Structure 1
Amino acid sequence: MTAVQNDRNPSPRQPAGPAVTPATALLDGAGNVIGWSEAAEALLGYRADEILDRPADRVLTPGGEVPRPENGDWSGVVEVRHRAGHTLRLEVRMGAMGGAAGRAYWLMTVFDPDEGALPGVNRSLLDGLLSHSPIGMAVMDTDLRYTWVNEALVRTSGAADRLGRTLSAVFPSQQAAAGEAAMRRVLETGTPRIDYEYRGPILSDPTGEHMYSASFFRLEDEHDKPTGLCYLVIDITERWRRHRRELMLSRARACGKELDPVRAAQELAEICVPDFADLVSIDLADAVLQGSEIPCASAQGSVSLRHAGHQADGGVCASSLRGRGDAVEYGPQSPAVRCLEDGKGVLGAPAHAAPAARTTESAPGRPPTGEEDAFHPPIMVPLCASALSLGLATFLRARDKEPFTPEDLAFAEEFAVHGSSALIAAHRFAQERRISLSLQRSLLPGRLGADEAAEIAWRYFPASQEAGVGGDWVDAIPLSGARIALVVGDVVGHGVNAAAAMGRLRAAVHTLAAMDLPPDELLAHLDDFVTRICAEQPSGTRCGEEGSSLMGTLGASCMYAVYDPVDRTCAMARAGHPAPVITRPDGTTFVPDLPVGPLLGVGSVPFEAVEMTCPDGSLLAFFTDGLVEDRSRDMDEGVAQLRSLLGDADAPLEQLCDDAVAALVSRPLRDDAALLLARTASFPSSAVATWEIPVDPAYVSEARALADRQLEEWDLGDLQFTTELIVSELVTNAIRYGAAPIRLRLIHHRVLTCEVFDGSSTSPRLRHARTMDEGGRGLFLVAQASQRWGYRYTGSGKSIWVEQALPPPWP
């Protein structure tokens, strides 16, 4: 007989409970079978008459031997042949029995291990698995009352007097009630619940917080009816702590999406409470908050930081936390300064070195009197990036919690590394935003004051910090003939490139406006300008894409309008920009049917201009889409709201601007918002004189006389000589080189403007005549006698204009 397992002198084992009846046989000293039970017949298939008086080896273990130990008992797993010919692996137990006249007999007991019929083994398994298992285990009845608890469960969570009581009676808490609800569902459904996690105390560590994982499964009888519930509990605190800290590190890497240093500091503080500390304070250098250059800390001098974020668990010291923006001073050689200088964290710094809380009576950076004992010694770690000291993070734990350990310090330093990445990104964005705002302010008009042609008011709001400064702009440009150009534009994108693109476009508009081009022609030239500079981009870089120096120019929009106070007309055209809102003097508002042209640099469709009459007191409102459109409303809704706000045509423009901003601008702004309001005015008829001039050279002297009489009426006799020269030259040129109709006009406003209109489109040219030339000096003399001069094309020809400064008032 081949023995697979041998266990000599085992400890006595007794059956427990209704076990399967064992198969037994009695052997004499020679190994012959002299007794055979019905259970043996059922197990091995041999009837008693087939095996009695035959050697057990030949029948049961051919080729082997049935062991017959001389002393003691023997048990082991052997291969036994069934009567049908197949082999069974059975557990055999041999026990020596005394006989008459000293003869030895052996009692052989055979069990099938798969049937679980060996009571001694079952009892051993229960004793080892249940009673001595390191895993907490318990059995509960159908009322969820404890009926059995092993030592590991009591050792882990205490409460040895559980028997006969429910979980919520042993541990009155919401967690216990939730656990009972989970158990009840397992009892009702029969579906096991695996890895049910909960927090709880431990006897060996009453101040610490531990995490447990429990698994519940239902106990059933032979009829599948529930008889109770069994659950197993393991302490997963270390795994939970590792997972929790990995999650904190992940959140630290992901924070600061708004790219605001103060908001990033607050997020870092919130991440660590209450999982790591009870109170966290984040202090940052002024340079980080302002977006300027960050200086290096020096152990020889003091360090000044500003409080940027804090978080307290359950109101810990909430009454004494510093306010955001408060300054914190650290003296020379203080732990905080050494921490910043060395770039290493400090565990157990003195209480005065931890600026966690203070009142007005306490020194800066020191907790109020009596609060030092409320915390364990803190952890202070530097917030550094690329050898730059961004600030300091301070972590505190209350006295009723476990103190910080060196492992906690290592985690805090790792957390600071990840948090510093978010802070440096926010600082760089703040730095770029500061540069963008400075550039934008330098490129925007310093002021747009009142003009003779129109009263002006405007507002501009850059996009919020997370969106970045954009490139919207407004402008009011004085033109010849007392006219004024009103401009509003919007470039694509945000940041320095967008602001630079805005500056280039604004400069181009000023240059083109000085040429006195009509609105549609000006936009066409501006479109050509954008197309040309985009074509000049280096090979491989497309205009308008990220990183391009011309970011925002391609696809920019622009609205250009020219108001003439003499004719009371306004001509306007737009390149992909929203149409203005116009309020009539009677308070009615409308949006003109103005053809929309393509965005600048995008298409080749020609721009169209529309001219309309604007009575005195009309209100023109130009804006960018950031004013009327946001996440909560579309553009049509915003325009309708703006129209309702501009219904009072007589209200002060500054008040109308403030009302529009208060109603339409919501924070945070995802795009720039700009608004330009212009209330039209006209000149009295007494300030404008117009004459029709015949196409006759003899009438030049009469034109000079008409101008002289008008100047005397305006009390501008000091300008008669130069005006005669200008009128004579301009009217002569119009008669000689122009075409009918010819018209002379004088306008008395901030300057004296003299204009001559004719029906020819031939542009004048300033010549520098040689010494012996008889002509060619006319426009040169005009230019010398005037403040500035120029020409512009009209619908029926051209106009040459000359402006003279008014003489100072004499006492």
Structure 2
Amino acid sequence: MDRRITADQVTSPLEDVVDEALTARATVDEHGTVTGRSGGAEQLLGYSSAQILGRPAAALLADEATARDLPPVAQLPRWHGRLALRHRDGHHLETKVLAHHRTPDHGTREWLLLSALTGRLPQPDDETLVSWSFTQSPCCALALYDTGLRLRRANEAMERSVALTEDDMRGLRVPEIVDNEAGELAEQDMLRVLATGEPQYRENYLRAAGETREHAWSVFLAPLRDREGRIHGVCLSAHDMTEQYWARKRLQLIAEAGKRIGSTLDVTRTAQELADVAVPALADFISVDLLASLDDVQEPPPGAVATDGSLALRRIAHRSVHPGVPEAAVDQGGVDEYPKGSPPVECLRLGRAVLHQVTEPAITEWIARDPVRAARVRDFGVHSVMTVPLSARGTTLGVAVFVRHRHPDPFQQDDLVLAEELVARAAVCIDNARRYTRERGTTVTLQRSLLPQRLPEQAAVDVASRYLPAGAQPGVGGDWFDVIPLSGARVGLVVGDVVGHGIHASATMGRLRTAVRTLADIDLPPDELLTHLDDLVARLSTEAEGTGRPAKEPETGDVGATCLYAVYDPVSPVARSPGRGIRCRPW
């Protein structure tokens, strides 16, 4: 039955469009008892509800069936086939049945049996519907080619994808329609389809005429066969996978950023890693600037930058698709003053990422006052800009600016989200590096101040020393040395090391150095001096376990150290140390 749906029926209730009576429905429980039926079921078999409900479903079969005759459907989620049924008036009828094995809301498993009362035979207008479905298919671009690989038919989506009508393309080959490598590859795949009879698949990336954005296409080529299996042509089906393609690329970029950003505890290196990840995958040029005020402030205030005027920003990294970064208006390491209302300042003031087209007033007014940047925009054809604040742990550190000029597509909202993700990862790493650098500088200063500023002059010995940390990565710890003048021209020589790194190790080192000098001043023998020093370390360890440390302190509560103490007597001349010769005493 042909029914036309008018515009005012699109939002009509379902019952105004669908005639439920045209489907016979019945439910059967797990014991084979009929538990429900529709009006269509009564129309099909002639039984009323009173006559059928509660009866075995097997009683409706035309012939009595044994368990051996029934299909093994108990464990299936669905069954379909033909059943011979008995009408109420006694005649037999064969009908197609679709049965769903389901669990309704009441929780009891049952079978839902369905059989169409109309539309079971092909209709005269079916071929028209098939033709419409081909030409109007919204999900893929379709084209039909004969065995000579000449186009015979193309649907509307294919016409849009190549910006040509079906009449324009009819009789042409694929490489004549698509004049690039993708067309040549598609025709090679068509040859394989004709030779093997097997479908072929390929992904293509091309830009349609009149478009600036490249599309990703998932292309299927399949043989068109008659009933005897002879091939009469090839069907080309192309699905536009552009959004999925770019989503996959964004995920890949985020994964790459996780591997590449933050490989060291160096601020400049980390910022450069962000720039290297972003160009050229996301932008044609990127600059990473930190607030110049961070040079003088130990801990910046939390939140967005509070400013009613200009801001000074220090360039710590940038990168371009062009060698030498010619787009940069500021040299790396240089400081530039950004005026009020400029995109970087507004981004920091608002505390969120902002997307701009170069024609917007925010850009035009800024570069109108900056001839250098205006020349860069003009010379390179900059058309799209994103500004993203560098924020970590609630503190704003600076801003990253992403620029496109060679890439024809302007930044989209998805690009802004991706940029925020990349910058957020980099900001945490930059903040970690900044805190580490600050703490290491404090630790180095403390340690240097606790070490001898100059060695005392000794008549009996010549002493030279050099302190050189093993490397930046482990951090500065509690290593120390000392030269202590003693009575009788003797000299105490000390080398020690406190376990661990950081300020706590340096402070502990200072206490132990002071203790060694005090004990040496009262002229204790090396064995006794180290015994007293051992007791001091034990007390320090007990104090550390009792008071605890801040969560951010990496060391444990235990205090450990290693010390070498020797006394050189120029009269003997012998260097005395605990035990025989010189040894280290560990705790």
Determine whether 1:350 maps to 2:363: yes
Partner of 1:511: 518
Q: Which amino acid aligns with 2:496?
A: G
Shift of 1:398: 0.7
Cα distance change of structure 1 residues 422 and 118 upon mapping to structure 2, 3 Å threshold:
same
Task: Give the whole-Å Cα distance in 2 for the aligned partners of 1:370 and 1:352.
Answer: 13
Gaps of 5+ in 1: 1-5, 10-60, 65-77, 91-112, 356-361, 575-591, 601-811
Cα distance change of structure 1 residues 532 and 386 upon mapping to structure 2, 3 Å threshold:
closer
Q: For structure 1, which segment, 325-334 or 134-143, has the greater mean C-alpha deviation from structure 2 after superposition?
A: 134-143
1:155–1:203 contact (8 Å) kept in structure 2: no
Cα distance change of structure 1 residues 166 and 409 upon mapping to structure 2, 3 Å threshold:
closer
The DSSP-based 3-state class of the residue aligned with 2:157 is helix
Determine whether 1:470 maps to 2:477: yes
Task: Give the whole-Å Cα distance in 1 for the aligned partners of 2:396 and 2:233.
Answer: 62
- Counterpart pick for 2:405 among 382, 393, 398: 398
Determine whether 1:495 maps to 2:502: yes
Shift of 1:284: 0.5
Determine whether 1:445 maps to 2:445: no
Task: Give the whole-Å Cα distance in 2 for the aligned partners of 1:269 and 1:256.
Answer: 12
Task: Give the whole-Å Cα distance in 1 for the aligned partners of 2:196 and 2:477.
Answer: 61
The superposition leaves residues 560-598 of structure 1 with CA deviations (integer Å, 9 ceiling, x where unpaired) of 444444434334569xxxxxxxxxxxxxxxxx997665x
Q: For structure 1, which segment, 329-338 or 120-129, has the greater mean C-alpha deviation from structure 2 after superposition?
A: 120-129
Determine whether 1:311 maps to 2:319: yes
Determine whether 1:293 maps to 2:299: yes
Shift of 1:315: 4.3
Determine whether 1:341 maps to 2:341: no
Q: Which amino acid aligns with 1:236?
A: M
1:474–1:488 contact (8 Å) kept in structure 2: yes
Q: Which amino acid aligns with 1:273?
A: V
Shift of 1:246: 5.7
Cα distance change of structure 1 residues 154 and 533 upon mapping to structure 2, 3 Å threshold:
same
Partner of 2:333: 325
Task: Give the whole-Å Cα distance in 2 for the aligned partners of 1:201 and 1:150.
Answer: 19
Determine whether 1:269 maps to 2:282: no
1:137–1:152 contact (8 Å) kept in structure 2: yes
Partner of 1:375: 382
Q: Which amino acid aligns with 1:376?
A: H
Cα distance change of structure 1 residues 184 and 549 upon mapping to structure 2, 3 Å threshold:
same
1:168–1:176 contact (8 Å) kept in structure 2: yes
1:351–1:366 contact (8 Å) kept in structure 2: no
2:499–2:560 contact (8 Å) kept in structure 1: yes
Determine whether 1:459 maps to 2:467: yes
The DSSP-based 3-state class of the residue aligned with 1:274 is coil
Task: Give the whole-Å Cα distance in 2 for the aligned partners of 1:414 and 1:354.
Answer: 28
Cα distance change of structure 1 residues 547 and 266 upon mapping to structure 2, 3 Å threshold:
closer
Shift of 1:378: 2.6
Partner of 1:127: 131
Task: Give the whole-Å Cα distance in 2 for the aligned partners of 1:342 and 1:169.
Answer: 50
- Counterpart pick for 2:439 among 432, 449, 462: 432
Q: Give 1:146-161 correspondences, 5 Å limit.
A: 150-157=155-162
Shift of 1:137: 3.5
Cα distance change of structure 1 residues 547 and 294 upon mapping to structure 2, 3 Å threshold:
closer
The superposition leaves residues 366-422 of structure 1 with CA deviations (integer Å, 9 ceiling, x where unpaired) of 365674562015333433456644212212111662334567556656665555444
Cα distance change of structure 1 residues 63 and 384 upon mapping to structure 2, 3 Å threshold:
closer
The superposition leaves residues 537-579 of structure 1 with CA deviations (integer Å, 9 ceiling, x where unpaired) of 35484x9x976697586343333444444434334569xxxxx
Shift of 1:185: 9.6
Q: Which amino acid aligns with 2:136?
A: H
Determine whether 1:236 maps to 2:241: yes
2:544–2:558 contact (8 Å) kept in structure 1: no
Q: Which amino acid aligns with 1:454?
A: D
Partner of 2:533: 526
Task: Give the whole-Å Cα distance in 2 for the aligned partners of 1:180 and 1:502.
Answer: 77
The superposition leaves residues 736-783 of structure 1 with CA deviations (integer Å, 9 ceiling, x where unpaired) of xxxxxxxxxxxxxxxxxxxxxxxxxxxxxxxxxxxxxxxxxxxxxxxx
Cα distance change of structure 1 residues 381 and 483 upon mapping to structure 2, 3 Å threshold:
same
Task: Give the whole-Å Cα distance in 2 for the aligned partners of 1:537 and 1:212.
Answer: 65
Shift of 1:265: 2.0
Please provide the CA RMSD for this pair: 5.2
Task: Give the whole-Å Cα distance in 2 for the aligned partners of 1:182 and 1:552.
Answer: 69
Gaps of 5+ in 2: 5-43, 48-81, 98-118
Partner of 1:734: none
Q: Which amino acid aligns with 1:265?
A: A
The superposition leaves residues 646-677 of structure 1 with CA deviations (integer Å, 9 ceiling, x where unpaired) of xxxxxxxxxxxxxxxxxxxxxxxxxxxxxxxx
Q: Give 1:560-575 correspondences, 5 Å limit.
A: 560-572=565-577
The superposition leaves residues 97-131 of structure 1 with CA deviations (integer Å, 9 ceiling, x where unpaired) of xxxxxxxxxxxxxxxx99xx969788557534544
The superposition leaves residues 779-807 of structure 1 with CA deviations (integer Å, 9 ceiling, x where unpaired) of xxxxxxxxxxxxxxxxxxxxxxxxxxxxx
The DSSP-based 3-state class of the residue aligned with 1:457 is coil
TM-score (norm 2): 0.63
Cα distance change of structure 1 residues 152 and 8 upon mapping to structure 2, 3 Å threshold:
closer
Pair member with larger Rg? 1
Q: For structure 1, which segment, 391-400 or 161-170, has the greater mean C-alpha deviation from structure 2 after superposition?
A: 161-170
Cα distance change of structure 1 residues 413 and 341 upon mapping to structure 2, 3 Å threshold:
same
2:566–2:582 contact (8 Å) kept in structure 1: no
Task: Give the whole-Å Cα distance in 1 for the aligned partners of 2:192 and 2:482.
Answer: 71
The superposition leaves residues 316-345 of structure 1 with CA deviations (integer Å, 9 ceiling, x where unpaired) of 954756432111122456554344333345
Q: Which amino acid aligns with 1:459?
A: Y
Q: Which amino acid aligns with 1:350?
A: I
Shift of 1:513: 3.5
Task: Give the whole-Å Cα distance in 2 for the aligned partners of 1:250 and 1:80.
Answer: 60
1:253–1:419 contact (8 Å) kept in structure 2: no
Shift of 1:469: 3.1
Partner of 1:537: 544
Partner of 1:212: 217
Cα distance change of structure 1 residues 184 and 326 upon mapping to structure 2, 3 Å threshold:
farther
1:492–1:552 contact (8 Å) kept in structure 2: no
Q: Give 1:251-270 correspondences, 5 Å limit.
A: 255-256=261-262, 258-270=264-276
